Amino acid sequence: MKTLGLSLTLAAGALSAGLAVAPSALAQAPDQADRIIRGRYQAILGDCEACHTAPGAKPLSGGLPLETPFGQLIPPNITPDKASGIGSWTEADFRNALKNGIGHDGKRLYPAMPYPAYTRMSDEDISNLWAYLRTVDPVFNPVEANQLPFPFNIRMSMLGWNMLNFTPGEFRPDPSKSEAWNRGAYIVQGPGHCGTCHSPKTSLGADETSQALEGASLQGWFAPNITGNPYIGIGSWSEEEIVQYLKTGANARTIASGPMAEAIEASTSQMTDEDVKAIATYLKSTTGGPAEKPKPIPADDRRMQMGAAIYHDTCSACHGADGKGARQLFPALAGSAIVQQPSSETLMRLVLQGSQAVHTDGARTTPAMPSLGWKLSDQQVADVLTYIRNSWGNAAPSVGPSDIGAHR
């Protein structure tokens, strides 16, 4: 009775949190409904939709092409459709895919599917996720995932890749750490697969495990350092600030943009408060990246002088002459981690294309930055970025005009 009572409470909690459950799920035995609800939460932790649902398409019926350094991969249809989805898979097939990167018919998956992270998931979580995926509306949508050029299109090559780069195995909790830390580490390393974007990659496209979460470039954005590094990571953020960022997409320091905005909308904002707190606890404990700031470029440098003029004429009305921005509305540039990353890819993109804050229950205003590409030349974008990266105590490498054009 106790178990049943607990599962009903969880189900009610999940429902009241706005998690829609397929009607067929409720008709099944209570423990099955419980599994499905927990499985749906795993799908939120793993943000399956981010890759497997194309904009405007039915959930999980296949996504937009992913541009990898090796070529294009299309996230396949993972609805229970027998012909084009995973309807003919068994739970064992699914577990094998997540834990070992091997699909239904022995096909090797490419690690764009983050099985090197999902392998850390517990059997129970994978089983629940499977139960949920069986309840998704089946959609007929054949997708040829493998669009890679020769020789990368040979799936068996992943056998060698796995030998070099892949360590299968479930997450092992560290008994010397708190329960929250272990929960956070599990989510970050396992279902949340944060390192898929935020960890630098080796030349083979694997996570550089010695530099986990130290920031990496992908799809034209720079996913910043999210270790506890005090100036380019989240080390100076309080746990509350990290929680607020992940729950709402904005805090007093910054506003999410690009793929992280999507991840916040579909995934982290819908996680439980406990899980987001656990992520914050774990991330703050990690280390990585340079411990000391470089020397800032002096203010009398010609690029800095140009950048200052552009900044005060174009940017300061929102971000402030002192770079402090305005809470929740205009991100602070002074002391900002994203502003001081080794790569300025995200910054170039924001200046040229603009950006809009994500809409979450906790932050509904969605302030936006206008696109300035029409009025600033490549040199001017470079100079103003060099200026914000080296003013008000910030310090980061200068930006050159030749890097800008690719983002126009």
Partner 1 sequence: METHCLKRPTRRQFLSSVAFTILAGSAAPVLARSISGALPWEARSADPPVQVKPGGWLFFTPEEARTMEAVADRLIPADDLSIGGKDAGCVVYLDRQLVGSYGNSSRLYTKGPFMPGLPTQGYQAPDTPAQRYRAGIAALNGFTAGAKGGKRFAELAAEDQDAVLKDLEAGKITLPDKVDARSFFNLMLTNVMEGFFADPVYGGNRDMASWKMLGFPGARYDYRDHVSKHNQPYPLPPVSIAGSMEWTTR
368 binds partner 1 (CB under 8 A): yes
Composition of the chain by helix, strand, coil, percent to 5? 45, 5, 50
Closest approach, Cβ 294 to partner 1, in A, equals: 25
7 binds partner 1 (CB under 8 A): no
302 binds partner 1 (CB under 8 A): yes
Distance CA 86, CA 80 (A): 5
Matching residue, tokens 């027998």: 82
356 binds partner 1 (CB under 8 A): yes
371 binds partner 1 (CB under 8 A): yes
b/e code 143-155 from CB counts within 10 Å (16+ = b):
bebbebeeebeeb
CA triple 166-50-403, angle to 5 deg: 80
For residue 212, count other CB atoms closer than 10 A to its CB.
19
312 binds partner 1 (CB under 8 A): yes
146 binds partner 1 (CB under 8 A): no
Enter the tokens of residue 35: 């599994």
Measured from the CB atom, the residue of 112 and 399 that comes closer to partner 1 is 399
310 binds partner 1 (CB under 8 A): yes
Closest approach, Cβ 357 to partner 1, in A, equals: 8
285 binds partner 1 (CB under 8 A): no
Is 176 exposed, middle or buried, given 0-12, 13-18 or 19+ CB atoms closer than 10 A?
exposed
375 binds partner 1 (CB under 8 A): yes
Closest approach, Cβ 289 to partner 1, in A, equals: 29
Among the residue ranges 106-114, 117-125, 134-142, 356-364, the one whose residues contact partner 1 (CB under 8 A): 356-364
For residue 114, count other CB atoms closer than 10 A to its CB.
22
Residue from 21, 180, 266, 309 binding partner 1 (CB under 8 A): 309
177 binds partner 1 (CB under 8 A): no
Q: Are 228 and 285 in contact (CB under 8 A)?
A: yes
Closest approach, Cβ 292 to partner 1, in A, equals: 32
Closest approach, Cβ 360 to partner 1, in A, equals: 10
Closest approach, Cβ 372 to partner 1, in A, equals: 8
Stretch 377-406 residues interacting with partner 1 (CB under 8 A): 377, 379-380, 383
Closest approach, Cβ 260 to partner 1, in A, equals: 15
354 binds partner 1 (CB under 8 A): yes
Distance CA 205, CA 64 (A): 20
Residues found in the chain = 408
Number of residues that bind partner 1 (CB under 8 A): 31
Residue from 225, 337, 373, 382 binding partner 1 (CB under 8 A): 373
305 binds partner 1 (CB under 8 A): yes
Stretch 314-353 residues interacting with partner 1 (CB under 8 A): 316-318, 321, 352-353
Of 192, 188, 197, residue with least CA distance to 219: 197
b/e code 320-359 from CB counts within 10 Å (16+ = b):
beebbbeebebbbbbebbbbbbbbbbbbbbbbbbebebbe
Closest approach, Cβ 375 to partner 1, in A, equals: 6
Measured from the CB atom, the residue of 8 and 368 that comes closer to partner 1 is 368
Cα-Cα-Cα-Cα dihedral sign, residues 273, 275, 279, 281: positive
Distance CA 73, CA 52 (A): 11
CA 383 remoteness from chain centre: 29
Measured from the CB atom, the residue of 12 and 368 that comes closer to partner 1 is 368
20 binds partner 1 (CB under 8 A): no
Measured from the CB atom, the residue of 249 and 288 that comes closer to partner 1 is 249
- Read off φ and ψ for residue 87, nearest 5 degrees: -65, -25
Q: What residue ranges bind partner 1 (CB under 8 A)?
A: 302, 305-306, 309-310, 312-313, 316-318, 321, 352-359, 366, 368, 370-371, 373-377, 379-380, 383
